[in-house]
Amino acid sequence: MPNGVPNGVREITYREAVREAMVEAMREDAEVFLMGEDVGVYGGAFGVSRGMVEEFGEGRVVDTPLAEAGFVGLGIGAALMGMRPIVEIQFSDFITHAMDQLVNQAAKLRYMFGGKARVPLVVRTPGGAGTGAAAQHSQSLEAWFIHVPGLKVVMPSTPYDAKGMLLAALDDPNPVIFYEHKLLYNRKGDVPEKAYRVPLGEARVSREGEDITLVGAGLVHRFALEAAEALSDEGVEAEVLDLRTLSPMDHEAVLRSVEKTGKLVVVEEDVKTAGWGAEVVSRVVESESFYALDRAPARVAGADTPIPYNKNLEAFIRPTPEKVVEAAHKLLDSRAGVYA
């Protein structure tokens, strides 16, 4: 175990972890294939599938036309016939072209056929802002799909979870929307060489604390961790919860943490109005854990505006670790007036 790292564990990027999961799944199961715009020779818009077409050929790493409605529909049909397609939507904004296929078909077919039809479809898509890609290539639309029974929505924040949760998603008989934040692709973390699974629907406490609960997922989970470190320098120990799966959401994990700390800040990148953070807060308020709260919960979210192209404006409307710290201060201002 050199440098404290277990044998068979390496430090790789989030991008490499996603690719590794796809490669392992395709090597193990001939029914798994990847398709999407530029996933083949080009290797994907963010380089995630680079080198895969050379190993598996154009029959299993399929470059599609610019027609999300068409190739998502094809993926649903392939899944119904027993295959396990991975469909890449080049930018998550373009998922809007396939709303009927995902919402009215993939999400409902198993229910409508009494469980006799299954749709083991994984839709991978990079989401989020911070790259200067402007209003049509920077959105966080995951809350739309949380609202649809029959769809699972996953948003891993670490390379370890990216690999383990993608393999778990490929095992699942239901359609899974798998969000990968663009700014996470180059982040590194320890990932085992061997295949493993991270169960869908289970949150993880990534930092223990007693004073306040910070809840996030995807990139903003890292913002919560950075905010927790800043708060620790002030003598405040925040507990950080990484939801990892947005649907089904691990509400019990949130309730356990809130009952311990009495204070809650939810961090999300999507726009605040009707964002998934509202569901986190609502479930706490509707439960017996409401009585554990010292103050009303706070939400740190994106502004209700299209994403600006200007980098300063883009940064202004997005969540940041500093905004998380500010929200925590407002909840903690009862601590002898320290933050008043």
All structural domains of the chain, each given as residue ranges with its CATH number in brackets, are 2-192 (3.40.50.970), 204-331 (3.40.50.920)
Angle between helices 276-285 and 251-261 (to 10 degrees): 60
pLDDT at 281: 98
Main-chain dihedrals φ then ψ at residue 144, nearest 5 degrees: -55, -45
Helices (H), 152-250: 159-171, 219-232
Distance CA 89, CA 270 (A): 18
C-alpha distances (whole Å) from 213 to each of 110, 240, 322 are: 37, 6, 16
What single DSSP character describes residue 84? E
Q: Output the pLDDT for position 333.
A: 86
Band of residue 148 on the pLDDT scale cut at 50, 70, 90: very high
Average pLDDT, the chain: 95
131 pLDDT above the threshold of 80: yes
Expressed in percent and rounded to 5, the helix, strand and coil fractions of the chain are: 40, 20, 40
Chain segment 291-336, per-residue pLDDT in tens = 999 999 999 999 999 999 999 999 999 999 999 999 999 999 864 4
| Phi, psi of 204, deg, nearest 5 | -135, 130
Please determine, for residue 340, whether its predicted confidence score (pLDDT) is greater than 60: no
| Across 70-76, average pLDDT | 98
Closest C-alpha to 220, from 137, 273, 277: 277
**What pLDDT band is residue 6 in, cutting at 50, 70 and 90?**
low
Task: Answer yes or no: are the C-beta atoms of 264 and 281 closer than 8 Å.
Answer: yes
Asked whether residue 209 carries a pLDDT value surpassing 80, the answer given is yes
Q: Taking a C-beta distance cutoff of 8 angstroms, is the pair 182, 131 a contact?
A: yes
Give the predicted TM-score (pTM) of the model: 0.95
Query: What pLDDT is attached to residue 334?
Result: 60
Q: Is residue 262's pLDDT more than 50? A: yes
3: pLDDT strictly greater than 50: no
List of E strands, the chain:
9-13, 32-36, 61-63, 84-88, 122-127, 152-154, 176-181, 188-192, 204-207, 212-216, 238-242, 245-247, 264-271, 298-302
pLDDT in tens, 172-201: 999 999 999 999 999 999 999 999 999 999
Per-residue pLDDT at 2 exceeds 90: no
| Contact criterion met (CB below 8 Å) for 193 and 222 | no
> CA 214 → CA 16, 242, 262, 337, distances in Å?
28, 9, 11, 21
Contact 41, 63 (CB under 8 A): yes
Q: What residues does 176 pair with on adjacent strands?
A: 122, 152
- Tokens representing 41 are 């020779």
The pLDDT of 35-46, averaged and rounded, is 97
Closest to 32 in 3D by CA, of 74, 82, 77, 90: 82
Residues involved in catalysis = 137
Map tokens 């919560």 to a residue: 224
Of the pLDDT bands very low, low, confident and very high (cuts 50, 70, 90), residue 339 is very low
Distance from the first to the final alpha carbon of the chain = 48
- Residues with Cβ within 8 Å of residue 161, at least 6 apart in sequence: 198, 204, 242, 244
Residue 338 clears pLDDT 80, i.e. is over it: no
Query: Does the pLDDT at position 274 exceed 60?
Result: yes
Question: Token pair of 80, please?
Answer: 């119904």
Residues 253-260, mean pLDDT to the nearest whole number? 98
Q: Cis peptide before 175, with omega less than 30 degrees from 0?
A: no
For 213-238, how does the pLDDT look when each residue is reduced to its tens digit (9 = 90+)?
Answer: 999 999 999 999 999 999 999 999 99
